[in-house]
Amino acid sequence: MVISEIKKGVYGMIIHDWDRKLFDELIPLPDGTTYNSYFIRDEKNVLIDTADPSKTMDLVRGLEKIGVDRIDYIVSNHSEQDHSGSIPEMLKRFPGSRVLAGEKASGLLQSMLLIPPEKIEKVKNGQSLSIGRRSLVFMDAPWAHWPETILTYCPEEKILFPCDLFGSHLAESDFYGRSDGKLYASAKRYYAEIMMPFRSNIARHLEAVEALSPEVIAPSHGPVHRNPSFILDAYRDWVSDKVRNQVVIPYVSMHGSVAAMVDFFTNRLIDQGVGAKPFNLVSSDVGELASSLVDAATVVIGSPMVLTGPHPAALYATYLFRILRPKTRFASVIGSFGWGGNMLKMITEMLPGNIEVIEPVIAKGYPLEKDFESLAGLAGKIFEKHEKLGLT
């Protein structure tokens, strides 16, 4: 754990989970993660967000180090257990405390954490609460990334506590982010996995946050931002409609036919000046794939036929592509089959609905000269599409 006094009487506790490898049993965490909790000492003492239940005792130790003997309010910006999971223990240790949460959060906190309803006080969008010489302003931020999420702002200190928003799954010993490539990559990956499906909501929340001009952004995962423009500029780019001259190619190959097609296709794109990134789904990190989807203009899925449909790994990647809802403009499919099946239909039906599908290339068995010509044609069409968007 690393503790820092951000401003006089405002403490941040970054509780490391160095060894956590997966989040939601889905998202790989190559750099572990952290659960950040914040404490404000004033006439009313406030704890903002807690920690994953597995780290409750770390939070207790952090509060002891700061010398906390009373908590009046526990602000729950977000009901997911990695931030709210230690609230029940906090309520036991500080029985005079009450939970402040968004209007939609009360039911979730009751059902998931068994917090008694009489301990929860709902706060409204825009509501300001005086805690002494400071105040807290609560802002609804639905779908960042749950429907009940709120952001908490302390105007006197100009500190924003946005919970998941602007966070990163990055366990480091530094309290403040270094605004470097590592933090950028972690934050982008985090945005892709958590926030991207709600891009238009995030764009609205971003505008609201920018209007506050915070001096510090203190998320509940990863390092604290004391250079807010670093993360705000990055988010502005990610939520915009801008796409890059890049083709992402998630693929799987059983006997080398699809691999040969992907290899030829990738090199053809590169020769034309189009960025290309193949992801062999057998060994790829799904978080890296998600991150690459944030701004790529085109996605091409590669799959062989298995029994009557696509390889399950290709179907899984297509499903992720659909539910992550990136701003991708174009998609296509390349693949190989032995004797029949519904691979193409199943993949194209699962593609996001608002995407332009460019004619796929499917080979029978190992690709022949005509198939490589078709792949060259597909690369050419993608180049033209990108060129029309002014990307090349």
The answer to the question of residue 78 lying near ligand FEO (CB under 6 A) is: yes
DSSP per-residue letters across 152-165: EEETTTTEEEEETT
Q: Which is nearer to ligand FEO, 164 or 295 (CB)?
A: 164
Spatial contact of 287 and 30, defined as CB atoms under 8 Å apart: yes
Q: Does 80 bind ligand FEO (CB under 6 A)?
A: yes
Q: Does 140 engage in binding with ligand FEO (CB under 6 A)?
A: no
Q: Which is nearer to ligand FEO, 78 or 199 (CB)?
A: 78
| Residue closer to ligand FEO, measured from CB, 17 or 157 | 17
| Cα Rg of the chain (Å, integer) | 24
| Interacting residues of 164 by C-beta distance below 8 A, sequence separation 6+ | 78, 80, 83, 144, 145, 149, 194, 195, 219, 220, 221
Nearest residue (CB) to ligand FEO, 11 versus 23: 23
- In the bound state with ligand FEO, the residue whose beta carbon lies nearer, of 47 and 260, is 47
Q: Among 248, 239, 245, 222, which Cα is nearest to 320's?
A: 248
Does 31 interact with ligand FEO (rule: CB under 6 A)? no
# binding residues, ligand FEO (CB under 6 A): 7
Pick the stretch among 79-87, 197-205, 250-258, 329-337 that binds ligand FEO (CB under 6 A): 79-87
Query: Site for ligand FEO (CB under 6 A): which residue of 221, 268, 311, 385?
Result: 221
Query: How far apart are the C-alpha atoms of 201 and 144, rounded to whole Å?
Result: 7
Nearer to ligand FEO among residue 35 and residue 138 (C-beta)? 35
Residues 141-160 that bind ligand FEO (CB under 6 A): 145
**Bridge partner list, 361:** 334
Give me the sign of the Cα torsion angle 20, 26, 31, 33. negative
Residue whose CB is nearest to ligand FEO in the complex, by number: 80
172 lies in the site for ligand FEO, by CB under 6 A:
no
- Between CA 45 and CA 343 the distance in angstroms is 59
Q: Which residues bind ligand FEO (CB under 6 A)?
A: 78, 80, 82-83, 145, 164, 221
